[in-house]
Amino acid sequence: MKNIFKIFLVGIIGLFIISCAEEEDKTTLNNTSQSTLSADKTSVVLNETIASQNALTFTYSNPTFNPSVAFTNTVEFGISGTNFTPSITKEVSLEQKTFSLTHLELNNILASLNVSPNVAKSIEIRLKSSLNSSTFIYSNAIKVDMTGYTPNPDLIFPKINVPGGYAGAAGYADWTPNNAPNLFSPAKDNKYRGFIYIANPNSEYKFTINQDWAGDKGDDGTFTGKLVETGEQNVKAVSAGAYYVNVDWAANIYSSIKADFGVIGDATPTGWGSDTNFIYNPTTKTYIINSIALNNTGVFKFRANDDWVLKFQPASADQTLTSGTGVQTYMNTEGTVTGDSSYKVSTAGNYKIELDLHNSAYYKLTVTKL
C-alpha cells in the first residue's frame, strides 16, 4: 500500500512540475503601436471614362507587436453607420505603406455593397490586420464620400472568347481571340453564356480565355458537349443563324443551340399568328428589325425559333417602352424573369427594334419611333 501511495504522490508532483513549466512558457502578446490609415481625398466622384486611372490614394502604417508575430493586411470598406456589416476587403502589402485604387475598382466596391449609382454615399474604410482566422487588429476608420456610376457590364463581368472562322462576317476578325465575340459569366462562377452569329454554314470555332490562345479549349472529338485543352477539335455550326452558347469552363462542358429571334404579338401586323424576324447587323453587332408597325392597344414578345422555349421579357418597370431609350431585357431560361410579362408602346406608329445580345450580363432592347 505504501508503494502505491508513493507512486501516486510522484505522479501528482510530476504533473505539478509540468503545469508550472507550461505556465512559465506562456508569453503575453502586446500590441505596442496601433495601425493608421489616411486617404488623399475626403470625397470622390467616380468616372467610367477614366476607369483605369487612380481615384483615391491611401497611406497606412502597420501595427507592431511584442514579441513580433506574422500577420496579413486588408483594407475593409463598409457603408458608414453599418459597423462594416457587410464589408468588402482588398488585400494590401505589408511593405508598401501606400496604395491606390482606380475608378473602376472603387465603383466595383460600391456595387458589391449595393450602393446606388449617381448618389453620394459615405463609406468607412479601415486597415484590418489578421493574426489568424479569428484575431484582428483594426486601424482608425476614415470616411470618404463616394459617388459611383452605372458600370459597363463589359468591364465588370468575367468572360471567355469565341474565336473562329465565322467571326469576320459577324463584324469581328476571324480566328482572333482579342477580336471575337465573348461569353460572359453574370454570376462570376466560371459558367459562361451568350450569343454568336454564324453567317455561313459549317463555320468552326473554339473557346479561349484572357483573349489569347494559351489554354484554349475545343471539343474532345465526340461532339457530345465535352471540352478538352489538348488534342481538341473545332466546334462546328452546321447551319447559319444565331446560336445560344453555354460553357462551364471548370467542368469542361458546353452546349450550343440555334436561337433565331423574332417579335410576335397582337401589337404587330401579323398578331399572334407569325413572327417578324430580326436581321443581324455586323456593323453594329446587333439584331435589328428596321421598321415594323406597332399599335398601342396590344402587346408583343420576343421569342426564338417560332417557339416559346426561349424568349426575352421585361422587368416590370419596363413593360411600356420609351422611344429611343434602351432597357435591359431578360431571358426566361436564365432565371432572371418573373411571370410572363410582355412589352408595349404608348404611341402607335412605325418602329425600329434593336436587340443587343453581345453581353449576357446585360441584354439590351431599344425601340425607336420612326
Q: Tens digit of pLDDT for each residue in 216-247?
A: 999 999 999 999 999 999 999 999 999 999 99
Does the structure show a pLDDT above 80 at 18? no
Stretch 343-350: mean pLDDT, rounded? 97
Do 211 and 161 touch, CB atoms closer than 8 A? yes
> How many Å apart are CA 89 and CA 45, to the nearest integer?
21
> How many Å apart are CA 235 and CA 252, to the nearest integer?
14
> How many Å apart are CA 122 and CA 359, to the nearest integer?
32
Identify the residue whose cell numbers are 507512486.
7
Stretch 126-139: mean pLDDT, rounded? 87
**What structural domains does the chain harbor?**
30-151 (2.60.40.10), 154-258 (2.60.40.10), 261-369 (2.60.40.3620)
Rg of the chain taking only CA atoms, in angstroms = 30
Structure-block grid coordinates of residue 52 = 483605369
Interval 176-209: pLDDT, tens? 999 999 999 999 999 999 999 999 999 999 999 9
pLDDT at 25: 53
In this structure, are strands 320-321 and 344-345 parallel, antiparallel, or unpaired?
A: parallel
**Of 303, 301, 310, the residue nearest 268 (C-alpha):** 301
In this structure, are strands 182-184 and 212-219 parallel, antiparallel, or unpaired?
A: unpaired
pLDDT at 40: 96
Give alpha helix (H) positions in 98-215. Answer: 103-112, 153-156
pTM tops 0.95: no
Classified as helix, coil or strand, 71 is coil
Interval 296-310: pLDDT, tens? 999 999 999 999 999
Nearest-5° Cα angle at 192, 161 to 222 = 80
> How many Å apart are CA 163 and CA 214, to the nearest integer?
13
Interval 257-305: pLDDT, tens? 999 999 999 999 999 999 999 999 999 999 999 999 999 999 999 999 9
Structure-block grid coordinates of residue 60 = 497606412
DSSP label at residue 130: E
Classified as helix, coil or strand, 103 is helix
Does the structure show a pLDDT above 80 at 69? no
Measured in residues, the chain has a length of 370
**What CA–CA distances, in Å, run from 322 to 90, 119, 327, 367?**
40, 24, 9, 7
> How many Å apart are CA 72 and CA 87, to the nearest integer?
17
Does the structure show a pLDDT above 80 at 37? yes
Interval 83-123: pLDDT, tens? 999 999 999 888 889 999 999 999 999 988 999 999 999 99
Classified as helix, coil or strand, 277 is strand
pLDDT at 79: 97
